[in-house]
Structure 1
Amino acid sequence: MNHHGQTILFGCALLLDDSEASFVWLFKTFLTAMNDRQPVSLITNQDRAIQTAVSQVFPGVRHCINKWHILREGPEKLAHVCQVHPNFQVELYNCINLTETIEEFELSWSSLIEKYNLSAHDWLQSLYSARAQWVPVYFRDSFFAAISLNQGFDGSFFYGYVNQQTTIPMFFRQYERAMENWFEREIEADFDTICTTPVLRTPSPMEKQAADLYTRKIFTKFQEELVETFVYTANRIDGDETISTFRVAKFEDVNKAYMVTLNFPEMRANCSCQMFEYSGILCRHVLTVFTVTNVLTLPSHYILKRWTRNAKSGVGTDERGGELHGQVSLTARYNSLCREAIKYAEDGAIATETYNIAMGALKEGGKKVSVVKKNVAKFAPPGSQASTAAYDDNSSSTLGPDTAPLLWPQQDEITWRFNLNDTGAPAQSVSDLNLPHMAPVSLHRDDSHPDNMVQQVLFFNAISYILCLELKYRILT
């Protein structure tokens, strides 16, 4: 996931089969490519071979199962319940996605099972037995780069590009097309962040600070949390001048409270909602405590570089930058130039002197491009300049619509299995998740940098299916 909260692709591998040995090789190869940088958290589909491989290669990772993959059988398994009890689906959704503590989830689940007399329902019991590996509340203390706890990791990177009839050669063409589309999306988000000014909704210096630091999407989320502080109250219930605990509650809902502990000397706060731990953005509860304790700007350790405008600075050379050789599509060249131009504009706009130099260089470069363009036009065959980008426009290239808050994943979103020749291992049942050695393990390092780089890896299985997997890596500096 990039600094705009957009899914990005870091690599693919062609697998002969979906065996444990194949995934072990794949994980080790990817780990080597990432300079042996261990992941902080990892989300995979429900598959025993993957789980075993993860435990071998990433023994300390916080591993969870994609909840959309877990719930894919819901419409079938619970059809009779939903038909008789129309409110059941909403209540189950709230239980899974809106509970904020483990105790609250356990109480809500028990109440739901008892209310609808489902204690003997085998599928629901298997879900409950594996709850620590897929229910969001069980891993809120780990970083998953999710803007919202309800955000699903539905593997939709190739949504609209491939289907069950996609051949191997066509897959590679569509793969490049998907990559170019996502590069364009990132460039558009970069442009929006750099060239437009967000509307401030409060006189708070903290909001102005966040607007200058965060990308547009992340700032919008932070602004939402900040504005909500106006309807919250914070009361000190324990502590002294060094460490204090505050009870934070909404004005009209005082019975639902959050506990925030603030260490004044270190200016560090911990909230019971654990939003910062999960998403890297401060919650409204901590911001409310900051307000009542006169903390006017964000402490530096609460500004993750991965969510800022400068997230890409200092992380290595852009491999797509510089000279481009061989058959590179027009869109790829355009994207590469746009990225360089944006960085150039950022540096050039710092002062009048840098602006004048940058503008002069652009004009001089423009003249040279015009000369070369005329020479290219004389010798290039008709249509060759854009031929590499000439895909079949009849193929769908649109991305899937924004996912609405649904309990079940929509059928056309479940594109992980493409049965190319009707072979491949069957999906494991939820009950297969109950392996003692596969319990999620929280990874905390006192000497590690708080910033994280999230990487998504998609694997194309040439025999049975496409498997989407997300690896989240911590940048250690």
Structure 2
Amino acid sequence: MQAENPGFFYAIQLNEDNRMANVFWADARSRTAYMHFGDAVKLDTSYRVNQYRVPFAPFTGLNHHGQMILFGCALLFDDSEASFVWLFKTFLTAMNDRRPVSLITDQDRAIQTAMSQVFPGVRHCINKWHVLREGPEKLAHIFHVHPNFQAELYNCINLTETIEEFELSWSSIIEKYNLGAHDWLHSLYNARAQWVPAYFRDSFFAAITPNQGFDGSFFDGYVNQQTTLPIFFRQYELAIENWFEREIEADFDTICTTPVLRTPSPMEKQAADLYTRKIFTKFQEELVETFVYTANRIEGDGAISRFRVAKYEDVNKVYIVTLNYPEIRANCSCQMFEYSGILCRHILTVFTVTNVLTLPPHYILKRWTRNAKSGVGTDECGGDLHGQESLTSRYNSLCREAIKYAEDGAIATETYNVAMAALNEVGKKVSVVRKTVAKLAPPDSLATGAAYDDKKSSTSAPDTAPLLWPQQDEITRHFNLNDTGTPAQSVSDLNLPRMAPVSLHRDDTHPDNMVQ
């Protein structure tokens, strides 16, 4: 695998009996993706909880299109605290010691302890799905008597924007339905600071939808509870290929079609040129909503001012925006920008009344832009959608050649400078060809809409219906990949793929010694 995929990283941990305890690997695409989008990471260990035959744990994140992507994958045959410490240290080594800003994991004491040791400065959040997975069983009798209860609980958990708002909403629900003695809800409340979104809005989680965390696993549709390890590796490759193809399609849609503008604002035009289509839609939704908000200055008339921002028909729900006008920096009490990296309607309303007509550069996160993965201009097109049968082979071939020149170029400063100059020149040529590909695209794939539409309605429907927890059929609905009667294999019987010289580590071995 390493011969076919330069940059492939892997490590194997042995237990005291010299048996394989855990395995971690990340291919070149995943490691490169992490360099661009590794600020917000999720570790999914639910496959162990749900008694899958393959006890694997993927590290995932979101790309600039809001699509789930894979950073690395582990097989955890041992789930001790030492194993998770090893896993996190190995993950860091694979990613060149670049730590994420935030990390979402399942609710597990061993994981939490390992997190505190390896990622002391990383914001750690417990996955909502894992916390709420018993909800349908624990609250079934309440749903039967009170049909509106689930929607109210959903709003309390997912739509409150401050800790105070969450606390008031939760207390109101508990009192309204007389649930003060409900043990399960009481346990959720006691752990609220570890999983409720309102407690994490001061940190970046790339959260662009309220249902984030309920969007399944990277391997949904590829792995089920009967999947054996040999089949898993085949399905792994298919899942990776699907990710790559979906990203190319989204790149093409972003760069080769024109979004319909809803306002005459130059800021909207600027955002349409900068953001990917998915992120622009989110931004546009916020911008359009400013038409129904007012902003009144309540303090300060110099460099720094505070504004009271509220909706016309809902003056009781107030947001406070602080604006440093000389620096054009603003903070909102909703903390949407800190949480998602997209400016909220409240700050945009203040920008409107203070004549800030374009987005300041410090509010444009590169990870959400169409050139998030490249320093080359923003006009290049996203690839040929008609030749993807050999996409992986083309990618791997380019990787192999690039690795050769990287090894030679890194020998000395002079060779490094020559190599970098050559890469920059090649990048320009590739960009020219990609533009040509865009021009050759079928006419019906290009948008013909007007540049401006004066409709003031919401720009998009919700991505998915509100979910408090996944439906039960969603938890188990996977394609049947192999005969359910296939017996489970022991670790000693597994026919593992050959992955070049193996890096072996005991529990107490530091990952710095790993062969990459």
Normalising by the residue count of structure 2, what TM-score does the alignment of the two structures yield? 0.66
In structure 1, stretches of 5+ residues that fail to align are: 316-327, 360-401, 424-477
> Residues 200 and 154 (structure 1 numbering): CA distance in 2 closer, same or farther, change over 3 Å?
closer
- 1:332 matched to 2:384? The reply is no
Q: Percent identity?
A: 82
- C-alpha separation between the residues in 1 aligned to 2:427 and 2:73? 28
SS state at 1:157 partner: coil
- C-alpha separation between the residues in 1 aligned to 2:94 and 2:195? 28
Query: What letter is aligned with 1:288?
Result: T
CA contact (8 A) 1:66 1:154 kept: no
Q: Which residue of 1 aligns with 2:275?
A: 214
Q: Which residue of 2 aligns with 1:89?
A: 150
Q: CA deviation at 1:348?
A: 5.0
Q: 1:76 aligns with which of 114, 132, 137?
A: 137
- C-alpha separation between the residues in 2 aligned to 1:73 and 1:285? 36
Count of matched residue pairs: 363
- C-alpha separation between the residues in 2 aligned to 1:211 and 1:337? 34
Q: CA deviation at 1:148?
A: 2.4
Q: 1:134 aligns with which of 195, 200, 224?
A: 195
SS state at 1:39 partner: coil
CA contact (8 A) 1:215 1:307 kept: yes
Q: Which residue of 2 aligns with 1:292?
A: 353
> Residues 174 and 248 (structure 1 numbering): CA distance in 2 closer, same or farther, change over 3 Å?
same
SS state at 1:200 partner: coil
CA contact (8 A) 1:65 1:133 kept: yes
SS state at 1:95 partner: helix
SS state at 1:5 partner: coil
Question: With CA pairs under 8 Å and 6+ residues apart, which has the higher RCO, 1 or 2?
Answer: 1
Query: What letter is aligned with 1:236?
Result: R
SS state at 1:12 partner: strand
Matches within 5 A, 1:143-292: 143-152=204-213, 154-292=215-353
- 1:101 matched to 2:162? The reply is yes
- C-alpha separation between the residues in 1 aligned to 2:223 and 2:280? 33
Q: Which residue of 2 aligns with 1:34?
A: 95
Q: CA deviation at 1:349?
A: 7.6
SS state at 2:255 partner: helix
- C-alpha separation between the residues in 1 aligned to 2:397 and 2:465? 35
Matches within 5 A, 1:457-476: none
Q: Which residue of 2 aligns with 1:446?
A: none
- For residues 433-459 of structure 1, the C-alpha deviation after alignment (integer angstroms, 9 at most, x for no partner) is xxxxxxxxxxxxxxxxxxxxxxxxxxx
- 1:123 matched to 2:199? The reply is no
- 1:24 matched to 2:85? The reply is yes
CA contact (8 A) 1:192 1:216 kept: yes
CA contact (8 A) 1:145 1:279 kept: yes
In structure 2, stretches of 5+ residues that fail to align are: 1-61, 377-387, 400-422, 440-462, 479-483, 491-516
CA contact (8 A) 1:262 1:269 kept: yes
- C-alpha separation between the residues in 2 aligned to 1:412 and 1:171? 22
CA contact (8 A) 1:246 1:289 kept: yes
- C-alpha separation between the residues in 2 aligned to 1:165 and 1:18? 21
SS state at 1:8 partner: strand
- C-alpha separation between the residues in 2 aligned to 1:345 and 1:30? 32
Q: 1:411 aligns with which of 464, 472, 482?
A: 472
Q: Which residue of 1 aligns with 2:28?
A: none
Cα RMSD (Å): 3.1
- 1:301 matched to 2:339? The reply is no
- C-alpha separation between the residues in 1 aligned to 2:133 and 2:222? 21
Q: Which residue of 1 aligns with 2:111?
A: 50
- For residues 334-358 of structure 1, the C-alpha deviation after alignment (integer angstroms, 9 at most, x for no partner) is 67799999986644588xxxx79x9
> Residues 82 and 96 (structure 1 numbering): CA distance in 2 closer, same or farther, change over 3 Å?
same
- For residues 363-406 of structure 1, the C-alpha deviation after alignment (integer angstroms, 9 at most, x for no partner) is xxxxxxxxxxxxxxxxxxxxxxxxxxxxxxxxxxxxxxx75311
SS state at 1:266 partner: coil
SS state at 1:158 partner: coil
- C-alpha separation between the residues in 1 aligned to 2:213 and 2:69? 15
> Residues 91 and 305 (structure 1 numbering): CA distance in 2 closer, same or farther, change over 3 Å?
same
- C-alpha separation between the residues in 2 aligned to 1:119 and 1:246? 38
CA contact (8 A) 2:214 2:469 kept: no
